[in-house]
Amino acid sequence: MHPILNAEPAEAMIDVARHITAHGFTPGLPVEIEASLVQNDGTLWRSQAIFIADADGTIDLSRDAPLSGDWLGVEPMGAVWAMRAAGSGGPIRDMTAPLTVHLTARGADNHRTKGRFTQAFLPPGATSRDIREQGLVGTLFTPLGPGPHPAVVVLAGSGGGIMEARAALFAANGYQALALGYFGVPGLPPRISGTKLEYFETALDWMRATLAPKDDFVAVCGISRGGELSLLLGATFPERVSAIVAYVPSPFTHGVLNAGSPGEDRHATTWTYRGEGLPVLSRANTAADWDLFEKVPGARRQTPAFLTALGDPAAAARAFIPLERIRAPVMMVSGSDDQLWPSETFSDIAEQRFAEAQHRYPVRHVRNPDAGHTIGFPFVPTTVLRKPHAVSGIFMVYGGTARGNARANENSWRDVLAFLAQATRAG
C-alpha cells in the first residue's frame, strides 16, 4: 500500500481548521510530518514533528501527539502555528493572495507522501479595490451578493500600513470592510505623530454615504494603537460608531512611543482634534519610569513602564478616554502576557469604567491566557515572540507563548464574529 497524506478541506478560508491524516505507513514505527509555507511577505516558514503510526499505519493530527518536534500534545493545526521562519521563500505578493501549506509524511523505511492545502482570505465573488478619495487611503473589501452589508473599518497599530488580510476576512464573513491607513502608507504621513481625528471622521462619513451599509451599521476594529484609537473614535464620534472591537487596547491616550519621527520624544502627542493635542499618559507623570524600558539590555519590554505610569492618578485621569460617551457595544481582546503594554490590565480598567458609567450597551472583555500582543486571526504561525518594531527598529518582546497565541487567535476570532453578528442584529 502506498502512503497517502490528506488535509481536509483541501481548499477553504484561512480561519477553517483542517483535518490532517497520513495512512499506509508501517504500524508502530515513526513517521515524520513536515509542513512549509511561503507567506505573502515572501517569508518561508517550516515545522516538523515525529509521530508513531498506529496499528493501522495511520497518523491523525486531531488525535495523536508527537513524540518530538515543534509542538507538544494533540494540536490539529500545530503544523501551521508552530512553524518557524526559515528565510526568504519568494517575492512579496498581494497580501490577500491564497496561501498554500505543503505537507510531507516520511516513514522509517523512507516511504514518503505529500499533500497540501490552500488558505484563502477572500471567497470567490468577493472583491477589493483601492480607495483614494477625500484624502482617504485604504483598501475596500466587499462580500459576494447584492447587500446591503454592514460595514467595518479596520485600523492598524503602531506599525502603520493597511491591514488588508484582516479586512478581507471580515468581507468573507459578510461585512464591507475598509482597511484604512493613517500613516506609513504612500500619500499619508510617514509617522503617527500628530494624527488628526478628523481624518477618521471623514472616513466614517464616507463609508455611510458611499457604501450605504445595512441599517447604517459601521463598526470600528483596531489592534494595539488601533485598539486605543477605536475606543477614542467611539468616544469622540459616538453617533458615527455602531460597535467597537478593540484588540489589545488601551483606554488611555499615549505618546508616539516607537512610531514617532526620528529624534522625537516618545511622549510627544499622537492624536489631535480641532487643532488641540490630546493628553499623554506618561507626560508630566510623577510615577512613570521609562528607564525600565530604555535602559535595559537586549530585547525590551514596555509593560513595566506603563504599569508605573498608572501610579499617578492625576496623569491617568487626564489621559483617560471618556468611555462614558460611547453609544455602542464594545469588545476588548487582551493577552495576559502582553509585554508591549498591559492590555489585560488596561481592558480591566476600561471594563470597570463602563460598569461605573452604567453603559447600556454590551461590554465584553475576552482574556487570553498565555497570549501576548500579537493576537489576530487563526491558523497562522505564532512562534515570533520578539522582533524589531516595524517603525523604530527597537528589538522588543511581544509576549505570550506560541501555543497561547495560537489559542488566542482561534478563540478570539470566533468571539469577534459572534459579537459583531449580535451587534448587527441589535441594530
Domains of the chain by residue range: 4-120, 127-426
| β strands within 183-291, DSSP E | 195-196, 218-223, 243-247, 271-273, 276-277
Task: Answer whether CATH 2.60.40.2240 is correct for domain 4-120.
Answer: yes
CA 228 to chain centre: 14
What residues form DSSP beta bridges with 396? Answer: 300, 387
Query: Each residue of 263-290: pLDDT tens digit?
Result: 999 999 999 999 999 999 999 999 999 9
3-class DSSP state of 7: strand
Written as nine digits, the cell of 344 is 489585560
d(CA 15, CA 5): 21
Domains 4-120 and 127-426 share a fold: no
Amino acid at 173: N
Written as nine digits, the cell of 276 is 488641540
Output the CA–CA distances (angstroms, integers) from residue 348 to 332, 408, 414, in the order listed. 9, 17, 21
Q: Is the pTM of this model over 0.85?
A: yes
Element at 235 (helix H, strand E): helix 225-236
User: CA-based angle 419:196:356, to the nearest 5?
Assistant: 45
Query: Each residue of 142-156: pLDDT tens digit?
Result: 999 888 999 999 999
Q: What is the pLDDT of residue 1?
A: 66
Class of residue 363 by CB neighbours under 10 A (exposed 0-12, middle 13-18, buried 19+): buried
Element at 367 (helix H, strand E): strand 363-368
Query: Each residue of 229-269: pLDDT tens digit?
Result: 999 999 999 999 999 999 999 999 999 999 999 999 999 99
Residue 427 has pLDDT above 80, yes or no: no
In terms of Cα–Cα distance, which of 395, 420, 399, 397 is closest to 408? 399
Class of residue 130 by CB neighbours under 10 A (exposed 0-12, middle 13-18, buried 19+): exposed
Q: What is the mean pLDDT of residues 322-344?
A: 98
Written as nine digits, the cell of 268 is 510627544
Q: What percent of the chain has pLDDT over 70?
A: 100
Domain 127-426: assigned CATH number: 3.40.50.1820
